[in-house]
Amino acid sequence: MADAKGIYILAELDEGLKPTSLTLELMGLGQRLASDLATDLNAVLLGSGAQAAAQELARYGTGEVLLLDEPALSGYHPEIYIEVLAGLLRSRPPLVLLAGHTSMGQDLLPRLAFALDCGLVSDCVGLRVEGEEVLFTRPVYGGNALATQRVETPTAMATVRARVGDAPSPAGTAAAVIPLEVSPPAQTRLEMKGKEVLSGRECPLEEAPVVVSGGRGMGGEEGFGQLREIAALMGGAVGASRPPVDSGWAASTCQVGITGKVVAPDIYIAVAISGSTQHLSGMSESGKIVAINKDPDAYIFKVSDYGVVGEWKQLLPSFTAALKELPKV
């Protein structure tokens, strides 16, 4: 293998073939790491019909955008993606490869790390350069502790959570987009048989400025109707802790926490949620946290900015009514 060099960002596109906000955040992080390590930043984009996205990415402080554009790369297929990426990284081994801790990142990066025998730190919430190397911070024990880790192979890989980096503002001039030859494998062992989309985008949680979540104390599906009304009034989305999802009161796509979605809205309202470490891992970076809980000693109050002690059934109707009456600012 050649000498490891440069920071590479593995870009992801949304359904409209635009770079995701997490991808742009990674560009910001990558810029910082590249400048601290005195190396360059490059973006890698796999997709189909991704020319325009590559041009857009090229405005976010990258040295170049390596574009692997090919119909076989239109959706994520683990074996095709890994073959194509492993080939690229073998010929151009980076010092650091960053990907989002997304559905794809969680599946692809471990495969890549084991295929190339590179160390990987998953689910990073912090990255910094110390001396000549990058240190990665991630939650362990369900978020009860934070471990800082170093990678002992020439190439370090990491998956990074949303809102760890800040997206840079786009520059007027764009870096070069370098289209690369792609030869996808002729055969794969995995067969993708199609997707089933649930709940018709009812919970675009990660993007919502306000998240109103219910917990086990909601006691059933009905209460979630009230949460939905509040979310609608505030321009937000409905979330849940794990028990309501397990009980079928809320869609599994609504789960917030270490094994659900990681959100950091301006306002997070936790109703009848006790504040387990696993739940906090998914929302503790929110702007303002508001808790409603009947137990004055519930841990959630310790990590909230506003709290009301009481039964949600008695509190939510007047809360909702007052929201409706609130004069616009």
Partner 1 sequence: MGLNIIVCAKQVPDPEGPPSSFEINEAELKVTARGIPPVINPFDENALEAAMRIKESHEQVSITLISMGKGISKAVILKAVAVGADASLLVEGDSLDASLLDSFATARLLAAAVARAGGYDLVLCGRQAADTNAGLVGLGLAQLLGIPAITLAQKVDVAGDGVVVERVLPDGYEVVEAPLPALVTVSGEVGDLRYPSLQAIKAAKAIPQTVLGLADLDLDPSTLGRVRTVALAAPSRERRCKMVEGETPEEAGRNLVLALRQDKVI
Ligand X SMILES: Cc1cc2nc3c(=O)[nH]c(=O)nc-3n(C[C@H](O)[C@H](O)[C@H](O)COP(=O)(O)OP(=O)(O)OC[C@H]3O[C@@H](n4cnc5c(N)ncnc54)[C@H](O)[C@@H]3O)c2cc1C
Query: What is the binding site for ligand X (CB under 6 A)?
Result: 215-217, 241-243, 255-260, 272-274, 276, 278-279, 282, 293-295, 298, 311-312
Strand 237-240 relative to strand 267-271, pairing: unpaired
For residue 318, give the 3-state DSSP assignment.
helix
List the single partner that 234 binds among ligand X, partner 1, none, CB under 5 to 8 Å by kind: partner 1
Place of tokens 């002690």: 309
Angle between helices 103-116 and 78-91 (to 10 degrees): 50
Report yes or no: 73 and 48 within 8 Å, Cβ to Cβ: yes
Residue from 248, 239, 225 nearest 273 by CA: 239
* 11 near partner 1, judged by CB under 8 A: no
Shorter beta-carbon distance to ligand X: residue 93 or 275:
275
Shorter beta-carbon distance to partner 1: residue 29 or 113:
113
**Ramachandran angles phi, psi of 327, nearest 5°:** -65, 145
CB of 278 to ligand X, least distance (A): 4
* 196 near partner 1, judged by CB under 8 A: yes
* 256 near partner 1, judged by CB under 8 A: no
List the single partner that 321 binds among ligand X, partner 1, none, CB under 5 to 8 Å by kind: partner 1
CB of 298 to partner 1, least distance (A): 11
* 23 near partner 1, judged by CB under 8 A: no
CB of 88 to partner 1, least distance (A): 18
Which residue's Cβ has the minimum distance to ligand X? 257
Neighbouring residues of 221: CB distance < 8 A, sequence distance ≥ 6 = 248, 249
In 10 A of CB 43, how many CB atoms? 27
With CB under 8 A as the contact rule, the residue among 53, 121, 134, 270 that binds partner 1 is 121
Cα–Cα distance, 326 to 189 (Å, whole number):
58
CB-count burial class (<10 Å; 0-12, 13-18, 19+) for 329: exposed
* 103 near partner 1, judged by CB under 8 A: yes
Shorter beta-carbon distance to partner 1: residue 222 or 306:
306
Cα–Cα distance, 42 to 19 (Å, whole number):
14
CA angle (245, 251, 255) in 5-degree steps: 60
H or E segment at 280?
Answer: helix 277-280
* 295 near partner 1, judged by CB under 8 A: no
Shorter beta-carbon distance to partner 1: residue 181 or 196:
196
CB of 4 to ligand X, least distance (A): 34
CB of 79 to partner 1, least distance (A): 8
With CB under 8 A as the contact rule, the residue among 81, 138, 162, 165 that binds partner 1 is 138
Report yes or no: 270 and 239 within 8 Å, Cβ to Cβ: no
Shorter beta-carbon distance to ligand X: residue 274 or 304:
274
CB of 256 to partner 1, least distance (A): 12
Shorter beta-carbon distance to partner 1: residue 87 or 119:
119
